[in-house]
């Protein structure tokens, strides 16, 4: 299917369609246009002609055609990409990588859909599936039976039952807390998931390693949403001795917290509560907020690239044992985390 057809469907120029589909970082001034282009490409199973030509040299399927794989996506922790900007951005990279690797994106599923898949006879229609987020045990059992290839892309490692491309959430959290400690902060709050989140364990283990006692009033358990981050500000600000720094488990939570801090401090100039704030992910909005968010960067583009290549290699019979690739994360110092002032 040609770029021209997608351009006709969306009202964009062919050049704009090409830029959107070949560069996951590119955004049209009209963000809805970007979404329409990517949606049309999925519906039409678009694959760039240049990639098909390249694959003619490397491998052919039956009847002399380059082998093309269909790949489903499983949203393991949420129902839609709109719920978590990190995974929405990761999906864009996966989408672009699939085009480059002559793969076709199939359905975007969530965990309830897997129950229906389990009841269906035979294998899934798609060849493989990429799991975004930590996959529940029962869902993992189903997709490992139903798909010829499975790869997980997550911020936390799983258990080697499937191929994985990941960053170590505990290490990322420790990096964030260590930075706050270097700035002189010792009363550090945590906002995020406290049940199955490696970032929480990284937080408290780092405090214990520095012989800093945990203060349970400083722990705010959430589902890591913007709204909960906003609400957490007033809860911490109301404490007799509020923390001087806050570690949020993801950027979305931190953005909500920063907005609440901005709103509250705009109403009262005196005795303003302005703790240092740091988080993890480095979503695009992290540089558009004020103050700009200090965060730990998770390499979404590299994760998407390796996940698609690994899944494709398995589908081609290139490896049999499960593999895990753990990528490094990096501290990005911006404006939201300042030094402790007595």
d(CA 225, CA 195): 15
Mean pLDDT of 203-219: 96
* Percent of the chain surpassing pLDDT 90: 60
List of residues 6+ apart from 57 with CB closer than 8 A: none
Class of domain 64-167+300-327: alpha beta
User: Is residue 83 classed exposed, middle or buried when 0-12, 13-18 and 19+ CB atoms within 10 A define those classes?
Assistant: middle
Asked if residue 291 has a cis previous peptide bond (ω within 30° of 0), the answer is: yes
Would you tell me the crossing angle of helices 85-100 and 31-43 to the nearest 10 degrees?
A: 50
Whether 57 shows a pLDDT value over 60: the answer reads no
Mean pLDDT of 128-137: 91
pLDDT of residue 244: 97
Whether 37 shows a pLDDT value over 50: the answer reads yes
d(CA 311, CA 318): 10
Summarize pLDDT for 90-132 with one digit per residue, the tens: 999 998 899 888 898 888 899 888 888 887 877 888 999 999 9
pLDDT of residue 56: 42
| Residue whose entry in the numeric block shows the structure tokens 């010829």 | 148
d(CA 89, CA 102): 20
CA 108 to chain centroid, in Å, comes to 15
Summarize pLDDT for 278-300 with one digit per residue, the tens: 999 999 999 999 999 999 999 99
Dihedral angle of Cα 155, 156, 159, 165, to the nearest 10 degrees? 30
pLDDT of residue 155: 67
Class of domain 1-46: mainly alpha
Domain ranges of the chain: 1-46, 64-167+300-327, 169-297
Rg value, the chain, Cα? 22
- Fold match flag (1-46 vs 169-297): no
Question: Which phi-psi region, left, alpha or beta, contains residue 67 (left: φ > 0; alpha: ψ -120 to 50)?
Answer: beta
pLDDT of residue 197: 80
Task: Identify which of 38, 42, 41 has the alpha carbon closest to the alpha carbon of residue 27.
Answer: 38
Class of domain 169-297: alpha beta
Mean pLDDT of 45-61: 49
Backbone angles phi, psi at 315, to 5 degrees: -65, -30
Contact predicate 63/340, CB 8 Å: no
Whole-number Cα distances in Å, 274 to 8, 95, 257, 339: 50, 39, 11, 11
Which DSSP category does 62 fall into?
A: G
pLDDT of residue 115: 82
- This prediction's pTM: 0.82
pLDDT of residue 221: 97
Summarize pLDDT for 155-182 with one digit per residue, the tens: 666 676 899 999 999 999 999 999 999 9
Whether 55 shows a pLDDT value over 60: the answer reads no
pLDDT of residue 321: 92
List of residues 6+ apart from 100 with CB closer than 8 A: 22, 48, 51
d(CA 127, CA 315): 7
Mean pLDDT of 213-222: 96
Would you tell me the crossing angle of helices 137-146 and 111-119 to the nearest 10 degrees?
A: 50
pLDDT of residue 58: 46
């Amino acid at each position: 299917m040609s770029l021209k057809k997608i351009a006709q469907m969306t009202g964009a120029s062919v050049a704009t369609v090409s830029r959107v589909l070949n560069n996951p970082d590119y955004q049209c001034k009209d963000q809805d246009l970007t979404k329409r282009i990517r949606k049309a490409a999925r519906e039409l199973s678009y694959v760039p002609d240049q990639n098909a030509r390249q694959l003619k040299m490397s491998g052919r399927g039956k009847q002399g055609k380059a082998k093309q794989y269909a790949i489903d996506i499983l949203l393991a922790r949420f129902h839609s990409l709109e719920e978590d900007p990190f995974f929405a951005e990761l999906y864009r990279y996966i989408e672009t990588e699939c085009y480059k690797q002559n793969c076709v994106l199939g359905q975007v599923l969530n965990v309830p859909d897997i129950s229906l898949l389990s009841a269906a006879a035979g294998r899934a229609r798609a060849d493989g599936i990429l799991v975004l987020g930590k996959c529940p045990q029962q869902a993992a059992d189903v997709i490992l039976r139903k798909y010829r290839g499975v790869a997980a892309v997550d911020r936390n490692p799983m258990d080697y039952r499937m191929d994985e491309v990941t960053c170590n959430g505990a290490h990322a959290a420790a990096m964030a807390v260590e930075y706050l400690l270097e700035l002189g902060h010792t009363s550090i709050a945590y906002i995020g998931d406290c049940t199955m989140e490696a970032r929480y364990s990284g937080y408290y283990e780092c405090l214990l390693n520095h012989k800093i006692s945990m203060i349970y009033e400083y722990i705010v358990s959430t589902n890591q949403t913007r709204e909960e981050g906003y609400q957490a500000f007033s809860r911490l600000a109301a404490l007799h001795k509020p923390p001087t720094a806050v570690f949020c488990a993801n950027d979305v939570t931190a953005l909500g917290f920063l907005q609440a801090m901005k709103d509250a401090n705009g109403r009262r100039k005196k005795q303003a509560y302005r703790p240092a704030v740091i988080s993890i992910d480095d979503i695009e909005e992290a540089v558009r907020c004020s103050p700009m968010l200090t965060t730990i960067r998770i390499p979404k583009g590299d994760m998407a690239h390796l996940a698609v290549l690994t899944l494709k290699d398995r589908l081609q019979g290139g490896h049999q044992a499960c593999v895990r690739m753990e990528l490094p994360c990096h501290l990005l110092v911006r404006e939201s985390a300042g030094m402790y002032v007595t």
